[in-house]
């Protein structure tokens, strides 16, 4: 039931229009961080306020919303955000990736391939991929403007020289549409290849840092690497202990206090659907 005390999806229409304009600009310049007048949301900064504002701006009454955190629908923050939109927008929600029109996510891309009629909204803590190398925004802005990404390549090179491989495992930098280096948000690099030529619109919201950026459908997203050290995603030796999937990101679950471990899909919907299908067969 929608709470009549608040505007549809919480934000007033003027604020939503401002956010939509930022989104349009972001879509027009793939990978470019568009500054926007981020508002204080009733959830804390760092807990998905950017994603929430983007979702609020694009949500319509007929949308079906899915919210995941770490790939799961039932983690506390995902539950909280889903409830927020149930309360303020009264929209239908789902845990099934296939049924959703908008998927708001933190730290994962669903295993089930997305389609053209879907939008995925990423919650972004740090939108600036160069921030750890250069904390001054005035500088990083200049570097993006000149496509001067030498600093990033040197960092990756130093990793290779020191460890024999790139030591970034999540929030692994990507080059979008051959132009802007972009932070994919803290998804594991396992998910990076899913961003490439994805049929769905991918929107990124960073509330605290007040930036929105986007990857339009069917846009090239290339994980940074070297010819002799190509990009490599994580792999597991065993399939999921619950559904047997060999193609999904696995979480390590501690099963007892004697070092027992099992590996299961982090995407709970994907895992559940596979198990259901197995049972039915």
Partner 1 sequence: MYVAVKGGEAAIDQSLRLVAEARRGDPEQPELSLLQIRQQLRLLVDRVMAEGSLCDPDLAALALKQAAGDATEAIFLLRAFRATLPRLGYTLPVDTASMRLQRRISAIFKDLPGGQVLGPTYDYTQRLLDFTLAEAELGTVPICENRGAQMGTVPEVPPMGTVPSLELLDQEGLIERQIPLRDDPAPGDLTREPLRFPAERAVRLQNLARGDEGFLLAMGYSTQRGYAHSHPFAGEIRYGALEVEFVPEELGFPVVIGEIELTECQMVNQFAGSKSEPPQFTRGYGLAFGHCERKAMAMALVDRALRAEELGERVESPAQMQEFVLSHSDCLEASGFVQHLKLPHYVDFQAELELVRKMR
Do the beta carbons of residue 234 and residue 217 sit within 8 Å? no
* Cβ count within 10 A of residue 149: 19
Q: What are the residues binding partner 1 (CB under 8 A)?
A: 6-7, 10-12, 14-15, 35-42, 44-47, 49, 69-72, 74-80, 106-108, 125, 135-138, 163, 165, 167, 169-171, 186-190, 208, 210-211, 234, 242, 249-253, 255, 262, 264, 266
Are 86 and 79 within 8 A, CB to CB? no
Give the nearer residue to partner 1 in terms of CB position, either 219 or 245.
Answer: 245
260 is catalytic: no
End-to-end CA distance of the chain: 37
- Which SS3 state, helix, strand or coil, does residue 220 take? coil
Minimum CB–partner distance for residue 13 and partner 1 (Å): 10
> Could you tell me the smallest distance in angstroms from the CB atom of residue 197 to partner 1?
23
Q: How far is the CB of 60 from partner 1 (least distance, A)?
A: 20
For residue 35, give the nearest of 23, 49, 27 by alpha carbon.
23
> Rg of the chain's alpha carbons, rounded to an integer?
19
Q: Give the nearer residue to partner 1 in terms of CB position, either 196 or 275.
A: 275
31 tagged catalytic: yes
Q: Looking at beta carbons only, is 107 or 149 nearer to partner 1?
A: 107
Give the residue with the Cβ less far from partner 1, 170 or 222.
170
Is the sign of the CA dihedral 77, 202, 231, 150 positive or negative?
negative
The set of catalytic residues is: 31, 240, 243, 265, 271
């Amino acid at each position: 039931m929608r709470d009549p005390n608040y505007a549809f999806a919480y934000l007033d229409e003027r604020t939503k229009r401002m956010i939509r304009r930022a989104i349009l600009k972001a879509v027009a310049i793939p990978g470019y961080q568009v500054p926007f007048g981020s508002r204080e949301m009733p959830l804390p900064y760092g807990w998905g306020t950017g994603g929430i504002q983007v979702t609020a701006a694009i949500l319509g009454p007929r949308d079906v919303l899915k919210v995941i955190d770490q790939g799961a629908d039932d983690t506390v923050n995902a539950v909280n955000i889903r409830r927020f939109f149930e309360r303020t927008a009264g929209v239908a929600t789902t845990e099934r990736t296939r049924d959703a029109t908008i998927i708001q996510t933190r730290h994962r891309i669903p295993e089930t391939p997305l389609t053209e009629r879907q939008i995925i909204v990423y919650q972004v803590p740090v939108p600036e991929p160069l921030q750890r190398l250069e904390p001054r925004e005035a500088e990083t802005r200049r570097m993006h403007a000149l496509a001067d990404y030498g600093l990033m390549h040197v960092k990756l090179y130093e990793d290779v020289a020191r460890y024999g491989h790139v030591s970034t495992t999540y929030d692994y930098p990507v080059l979008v549409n051959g132009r802007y280096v972009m932070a994919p948000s803290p998804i594991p690099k396992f998910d990076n290849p899913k961003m490439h030529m994805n049929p769905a619109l991918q929107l990124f919201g960073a509330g605290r840092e007040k930036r929105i950026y986007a990857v339009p459908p069917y846009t090239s997203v290339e994980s940074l690497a070297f010819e002799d050290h190509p990009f490599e995603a994580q792999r597991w030796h065993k399939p999921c202990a619950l559904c047997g999937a060999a193609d999904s990101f696995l979480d390590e679950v501690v099963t007892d206090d004697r070092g027992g471990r099992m590996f299961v899909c982090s995407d709970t919907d994907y895992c559940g659907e596979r198990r259901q299908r197995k049972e039915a067969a």
